[in-house]
Chain A
Amino acid sequence: MRNTLARIASVAAATTLAVTLTGCGSDDADTGTAAGDPVSAADIQAALDKGGELTVWAWEPTLKDVVASFQREHQNVKVNLINAGSGNDQYTALQNAIAAGSGVPDVAQVEYYALPQFALAKSVTDLSAYGAKSLDGTFTPGPWTAVNIDGGVYGLPMDSGPMALFYNKEVFDKHGIEVPATWTEYVEAARKLHAADPKVYLTADSGDAGFTTSMIWQAGGKPYRVDGTTVTIDFADPGSTRFAGAWQQLITEKLVAPVAPWSDEWFQGLGNGTIASLATGAWMPANLMSGAPAGAGKWRVAPLPQWQAGENASAENGGSSLAVPEKATNKALAYGFMQYANAGAGVGIRVAKGAFPATAAELNSAEFLGAEFAYFGGQKANEVFAASAANVVSGWSYLPFQVYANSIFNDTVGQAYVSSTSLADGLKAWREASAKYGTDQGFTVR
Chain B
Amino acid sequence: MSVAVRPVEAPTNTTPVRRRSVRRPRRSPTLTLLTGIVLAYSLFPLAWLVINATKSRDGLFASFGLAFADDFALWDNIVETFTYADGIFLRWLVNTVLYVLVGAVGATFLATLAGYGLAKFDFPGKRAVFAVVIGAVAVPGTALAVPTFLMFSQMGLTNTPWSVIIPSLITPFGLYLMWTFAAEAIPDELLEAARVDGAGEFRTFFRVCLPLLAPGIVTVLLFTMVATWNNFFLPLIMLRDAQWYPLTLGLYTWNKQASTAGGEAVFHLVITGSLLTILPLLAAFLLLQRYWQSGLAAGSVKQ
Is the CB of A36 closer than 8 A to any CB of chain B? no
Asked if B62 contacts A86 (CB within 8 A), the reply is: no
Beta-carbon nearest neighbor of B245 in chain A: A83
| Residues 198-256 of A at the B interface (beta carbon under 8 Å) | none
For A286, the chain B residues whose CB sits under 8 A away are: 261-262
Asked if B241 contacts A294 (CB within 8 A), the reply is: no
Beta-carbon nearest neighbor of B155 in chain A: A102
A272-286 toward B: CB 8 Å interface, digit per residue (1/0)? 100000000101101
A9-B236, A291-B258 known; A100 vs B263 contact (CB < 8 Å)? no
Question: Given B60, B242, B256, B264, which contacts A89 in the complex, CB threshold below 8 Å?
Answer: B256
Asked if B242 contacts A83 (CB within 8 A), the reply is: yes
Asked if A89 contacts B236 (CB within 8 A), the reply is: yes
| Residues 1-38 of A at the B interface (beta carbon under 8 Å) | 2, 5, 8-9, 12
Asked if A318 contacts B236 (CB within 8 A), the reply is: no
- Report the count of interface residues on A (CB-CB < 8 A): 52
Please measure, in the bound complex, the distance between the C-alpha atom of A318 and the C-alpha atom of B236, giving whole angstroms.
24
Asked if B261 contacts A159 (CB within 8 A), the reply is: yes
For B207, the chain A residues whose CB sits under 8 A away are: none
Asked if B256 contacts A294 (CB within 8 A), the reply is: no
Is the CB of B300 closer than 8 A to any CB of chain A? no
Asked if B232 contacts A294 (CB within 8 A), the reply is: no
Query: DSSP majority for the B interface?
Result: helix
For B156, the chain A residues whose CB sits under 8 A away are: 102
| Residues 255-296 of B at the A interface (beta carbon under 8 Å) | 256-265, 267
Please measure, in the bound complex, the distance between the C-alpha atom of A9 and the C-alpha atom of B144, giving whole angstroms.
11
Asked if A287 contacts B263 (CB within 8 A), the reply is: yes
A74-100 toward B: CB 8 Å interface, digit per residue (1/0)? 000000001111110100110011011
A-B contact count (CB 8 A): 120
Beta-carbon nearest neighbor of B1 in chain A: A2
For B48, the chain A residues whose CB sits under 8 A away are: none
Asked if B260 contacts A86 (CB within 8 A), the reply is: yes
Is the CB of B150 closer than 8 A to any CB of chain A? yes
Is the CB of B146 closer than 8 A to any CB of chain A? yes
Asked if B153 contacts A82 (CB within 8 A), the reply is: no
For A290, the chain B residues whose CB sits under 8 A away are: 258, 263-265
Question: Given A99, A287, A320, which contacts B258 in the complex, CB threshold below 8 Å?
Answer: A287
Is the CB of A344 closer than 8 A to any CB of chain B? no
Is the CB of A155 closer than 8 A to any CB of chain B? no
Beta-carbon nearest neighbor of B255 in chain A: A264
Please measure, in the bound complex, the distance between the C-alpha atom of A269 and the C-alpha atom of B81, giving whole angstroms.
25
For A93, the chain B residues whose CB sits under 8 A away are: 237, 240
Asked if B258 contacts A102 (CB within 8 A), the reply is: no
A2-B232, A82-B241, A290-B265 known; A100 vs B149 contact (CB < 8 Å)? yes
Expressed in whole angstroms, the minimum distance between the Cβ of A68 and any Cβ of chain B is 13
Is the CB of A355 closer than 8 A to any CB of chain B? yes
Please measure, in the bound complex, the distance between the C-alpha atom of A319 and the C-alpha atom of B61, giving whole angstroms.
28
Beta-carbon nearest neighbor of A271 in chain B: B61
Is the CB of A62 closer than 8 A to any CB of chain B? yes
Is the CB of A161 closer than 8 A to any CB of chain B? yes
For B149, the chain A residues whose CB sits under 8 A away are: 96, 100
A93-133 toward B: CB 8 Å interface, digit per residue (1/0)? 10011011111000000000000000000000000000000
Please measure, in the bound complex, the distance between the C-alpha atom of A86 and the C-alpha atom of B252, giving whole angstroms.
11
Asked if A59 contacts B57 (CB within 8 A), the reply is: no
Asked if B263 contacts A264 (CB within 8 A), the reply is: no
Is the CB of B253 closer than 8 A to any CB of chain A? yes
Asked if B61 contacts A8 (CB within 8 A), the reply is: no
Please measure, in the bound complex, the distance between the C-alpha atom of A86 and the C-alpha atom of B150, giving whole angstroms.
21
Beta-carbon nearest neighbor of B266 in chain A: A290
Is the CB of A379 closer than 8 A to any CB of chain B? no
| Residues 289-332 of A at the B interface (beta carbon under 8 Å) | 290-294, 318-320
Beta-carbon nearest neighbor of B159 in chain A: A103
Is the CB of B9 closer than 8 A to any CB of chain A? no
Asked if A9 contacts B259 (CB within 8 A), the reply is: no
Is the CB of A397 closer than 8 A to any CB of chain B? no
Is the CB of B28 closer than 8 A to any CB of chain A? no
Please measure, in the bound complex, the distance between the C-alpha atom of A100 and the C-alpha atom of B150, giving whole angstroms.
6
Residues of A whose CB lies within 8 Å of any CB of B are 2, 5, 8-9, 12, 57, 59-62, 82-87, 89, 92-93, 96-97, 99-103, 159, 161, 261-262, 264, 267-268, 271-272, 281, 283-284, 286-287, 290-294, 318-320, 353-356
Known: A9-B236, A96-B153, A267-B258. 5 other contacts (CB 8 A): A83-B253, A86-B253, A267-B265, A268-B61, A272-B62
16 pairs from A and B in contact (CB 8 Å cutoff)? A2-B252, A61-B260, A61-B262, A61-B264, A92-B237, A99-B150, A102-B158, A103-B159, A159-B261, A268-B61, A271-B61, A286-B261, A287-B262, A293-B57, A294-B62, A319-B261
